[in-house]
Amino acid sequence: MATRLSGRGAPGEPQLIEFQWRYRGREGRFSGDGGLRVNPPDSVRLDLLGPGWSGVQSAVVVGDVVHYVGEQRVILPPPAFMWTLLGVFRPPAGLRPDGYRRGERTQLDYQLSARETLSFHFDGEGRLIEAELRRGGDVVQRIEIEPGEPGGDPSEHQWPQEARYRDLGEFHEVRIKVTEIRPHAPFEQRIFSVPAL
């Protein structure tokens, strides 16, 4: 089950995705526009922009490695959840899940440690719709996804229409709403390179 669901993978072609974002947390409330630049199979750059398209901060994802760049006023998801925010199921490497079916929904649980469990939830079409991190039985982080339109080839990736990440312990939330998706020529590899910190 896990192999079949992870086979959906990431987009197969370079794409530019524009979105609107909102953040609320202890630092205040912020909003703006943003962009995702994608070079398959596993390179993504997420840029949050403020007024006048000024840069606020970025996240560069290459495989399972995530670099956070910029002011860090907006708390983005931790590495385990960055692909999830994009509607991509990338399970923790080397772990075998427990799987459950509840009606049309499927749930996969990965035991990260004695106290931590990472769970992924899928709808009847195999689209990722939710993920949560539980610590000591309590949900401490959650991502909720409104998937793209149903139909089409189920093996192809679909960008979520909207995704919301919440940290219930630190009391902050990031919401991303996709406004436009378009194909693009491959992006220069330098935009996915992060100088050593």
User: pLDDT class for 196, splitting at 50, 70, 90?
Assistant: very low
CATH of 2-192, one of 1.10.10.10, 3.40.50.300, 1.10.15.40, 2.50.20.10: 2.50.20.10
DSSP-assigned letter for residue 47: E
The tens digit of pLDDT for each residue in 28-43 reads 888 999 999 999 888 9
* 120/83 Cα distance (integer angstroms): 12
Tell me if 49 sits within 8 A of 32, measured CB to CB. yes
Tell me if 46 sits within 8 A of 36, measured CB to CB. yes
Q: How far apart are the first and last CA of the chain?
A: 39
Q: How far is C-alpha 160 from the geometric centre of its chain's CA atoms?
A: 9
Tell me if 133 sits within 8 A of 117, measured CB to CB. yes
User: Per the structure block, which two tokens stand in for 45?
Assistant: 């750059």
Closest to 42 in 3D by CA, of 157, 177, 162:
157
* 64/178 Cα distance (integer angstroms): 23
The tens digit of pLDDT for each residue in 73-127 reads 788 898 888 889 888 888 888 899 999 998 899 999 999 999 999 999 999 888 8
The tens digit of pLDDT for each residue in 45-69 reads 999 987 655 667 899 999 889 999 8
Q: Delimit the domains of the chain by residue range.
A: 2-192
